[in-house]
Amino acid sequence: MYSIQKKGGKMKDRKNGFTLIELIIALLIFKIIILFFFPYNKMKWEKATQRIALKKAKCELIKENGRTRSGEF
């Protein structure tokens, strides 16, 4: 721990390292930069999640109906 010299008549004590708020802000900025520069990865992720959701829906239909017609999916 070290102390920063007087600012506005008050002594401020500060630990080495980052505070929680600074870390959260840094993570948000990092995430925004990644999404801005790599939208392709986000699109791939969305497509993958949609595909998984479709498979789950298909499995549910098979369980309900017993079988599916070839033209459904």
Altogether, the residues listed in the chain come to a count of: 73
Q: What is the pLDDT of residues 18-63, one digit of tens each?
A: 688 888 898 999 888 877 777 666 677 778 788 888 888 887 777 7
Model pLDDT, residue 48: 78
Output DSSP code: residue 5: E
CA 70 centroid distance within chain: 37
Q: What is the pLDDT of residues 40-50, one digit of tens each?
A: 666 777 787 88
